[in-house]
Amino acid sequence: MLEIRLNQPGDLELREMEPLRSPGEEEIRLQTIYGGICGSDLSLFQGRLHHATYPLRPGHEILGKIVEAGKEVGYDIGTRVVILPNTFCGECDFCLQGRTNLCRHKRSLGVNADGGFAEEWILPGRYVLPIPDNLPDEKAVLIEPFAVVVHAFNKVNITEGTAVLIVGCGNEGMLATCLADHLGADVTAVDLKPSKREWVSRLGRVRAAKPEEIDEETFDVVIEAAGTKLSVEQSIQHVAPGGAMVMIGMTQEANIPVMQMVRQEWTLYGSIIYNYPDDYLKSIQYLRDERFKVDEVVSEILPFSQAEKAYEKAMSGEYGKILLDFRGS
Ligand SMILES: [Zn+2]
Ligand SMILES: [Zn+2]
């Protein structure tokens, strides 16, 4: 059995794993099918995630198949599942309100606990969700990253004709573009990179623009998915009076023009991951919908043995989402 190991920032290794023990009563042994590479995996690789621990097995966007289950786990062998990489206790005040994303005891698999970039691995049975048979693998692996967008969109009202600006066309920006388009919004997506604008323009009825091309324009809803100080500060300036901005990108800090914010009645939201199970179930519901166009988001599928190459491609910013295939090398 092989796994991908991040010994320290910049040091990715494909190596033979310690033989796996049998799963405990409440655990399962999962055979990974696909693993998605996400922006936070790249930050982790570059040593830019402050809550990360090394050495670590990365991987949090994981689709797999149960190959062994402890006796307290109610799933059959062969069940296809996605994982919930952000653990939650189920008992704290936030969990009891259904806000598992704010759990006081949250840990993140693939960030500060071992993740799923391995041919097989063991995890608690409560952190997997079975998925419907009619959802193909290539879409099912998007359930987790797309749930982030679903959660962000819960905060605002986007319907037919809403003017929406998506800032940053990485994985989350692309998925946000797909959803805004699906909801009938007038979507503008901006990115500094020509290749990203090219990708995003294939996703639907969307206008892809350079940041300077929208200089004077404002939008009902702005989704900030670039996560730099400058992009946050510029994005605020594109919120229409009475409008809202949802921030899913992360930067340490940015300046907020308070006078303008008060006078224009802007609403700013921070949005972190998703609540389980609600946002996961909603994510699945969209992905099962034939009319929801999302296929173009995935640009490459590489065998996991080429993880290093996959990371390099992802970091180049020239591609859409990149998946690792863990079924044989
Ligand atoms: Zn992710
Ligand atoms: Zn909790």
Q: What is the model's pLDDT at position 157?
A: 98
Strands 239-247, 267-270: pairing is parallel
As a CATH number, domain 156-270 is: 3.40.50.720
pLDDT digits over 61-83, tens only?
999 999 999 999 999 999 999 99
Distance 260 CA to ligand 1 centre (A): 33
pLDDT digits over 27-62, tens only?
999 999 999 999 999 999 999 888 899 999 999 999
The ligand with the least distance to the CA atom of 99 is 2
| Cα–Cα distance measured from residue 13 to residue 6, given in angstroms and rounded to the nearest whole number | 6
Ion ligand 2: residues, Cβ under 5 Å: 88-89, 92, 95, 103
Ion ligand 1: residues, Cβ under 5 Å: 38, 145
Strands 11-16, 2-8: pairing is antiparallel
Distance 257 CA to ligand 1 centre (A): 30
Residues (pLDDT < 70) of the chain are 329
Distance 124 CA to ligand 2 centre (A): 16
| Cα–Cα distance measured from residue 180 to residue 163, given in angstroms and rounded to the nearest whole number | 9
Distance 47 CA to ligand 2 centre (A): 27
C-beta of residue 36 within 8 angstroms of C-beta of residue 59: no
Residue 325: which H helix or E strand, with range?
A: strand 321-325
Give start-end residues of each CATH 3.40.50.720 domain in the chain: 156-270
Distance 297 CA to ligand 1 centre (A): 14
As a CATH number, domain 2-146+274-325 is: 3.90.180.10
The ligand with the least distance to the CA atom of 98 is 2
Task: Give this prediction's pTM.
Answer: 0.96
Residues 6+ apart with CB under 8 A from 41: 58, 59, 60, 110, 311, 314
Q: What is the model's pLDDT at position 50?
A: 86
Residue 175: which H helix or E strand, with range?
A: helix 171-182
Burial, 122: exposed, middle or buried (Cβ in 10 Å; 0-12, 13-18, 19+)? middle
Distance 90 CA to ligand 1 centre (A): 22
Name the DSSP class of 19. Answer: P
Distance 185 CA to ligand 2 centre (A): 35
Distance 98 CA to ligand 2 centre (A): 9
Give start-end residues of each CATH 3.90.180.10 domain in the chain: 2-146+274-325
